[in-house]
Structure 1
Amino acid sequence: MSIHLVPYPDYCGESGILVMRSLQQDLNKALQQEDWEKVRQLDRICVLLIDRVISANRENKSTLVRALSELKGVYAGLIAQCHQEVTLLHAT
């Protein structure tokens, strides 16, 4: 048996944006499926990922703005969906 190390992800530049986009896709999928446990899990991961992307791109502000702007859209959708769910609960 041999051990294979998994390379540490690169959060610099485009690589960081791609990792953020992958998480965003997973989050959008969980939202569409109304898998709230998965949404909570991905939200916790997102906090850590944002910290790593920020740390890796301190000198590259445009990368940070792009990554965080895209993520902002995902969270705006999440908030809208939560409002909709609450409205439906109060209507019943």
Structure 2
Amino acid sequence: MALVSVPGPDYRGDAGVAQVRELQRELVGALRREDWSRVRELDRACAGLVERVIDANQQDGAALVRALSELKGVYANLIDRCHREVLKMAL
């Protein structure tokens, strides 16, 4: 059996933006399903992904803006949702 090297993911430009968007879609889906363990898992993965996308796109500010601006909205929604859940628990 021969070992075959598999190239790592490309985080530059549109490829990095696409990966952030995929994670974003999964995060939105988990929020809609109220699957909090999946939200937690995706949140942890997001930190690493964002770091890799930033590192790969230091010379491409436009790619960084595209990748992170939509994600910012998802996190704003997540924070609002968590705040509402905490208020429900306090009642």
- TM-score past 0.5 threshold: yes
Indicate the residue corresponding to 1:55 in structure 2: 55
Identity within the alignment, %: 53
1:60 and 1:30, CA in 2 relative to 1: closer, same or farther beyond 3 A? same
Indicate the residue corresponding to 1:87 in structure 2: 87
Tell which deviates more after alignment, 1-10 or 38-47: 1-10
Structure 1 runs of 4+ with >3 Å offset: 1-6
Unaligned segments of structure 1, at least 5 residues: none
The Cα RMSD (Å) is: 1.2
Indicate the residue corresponding to 1:32 in structure 2: 32
TM-score (norm 2): 0.92
**Which SS does the other structure have where 2:58 is aligned?**
coil
- 1:6 offset after TM fit, Å? 3.6
Indicate the residue corresponding to 1:13 in structure 2: 13
TM-score (norm 1): 0.91
Unaligned segments of structure 2, at least 5 residues: none
- 1:2 offset after TM fit, Å? 5.5
Q: Give the distance between the partners of 1:78 and 1:5, measured in 2 at CA.
A: 38
**Deviation digits for residues 12-68 of structure 1 (CA, Å, limit 9, x no counterpart):** 000000000000000001111111111111111000001100010000011111111
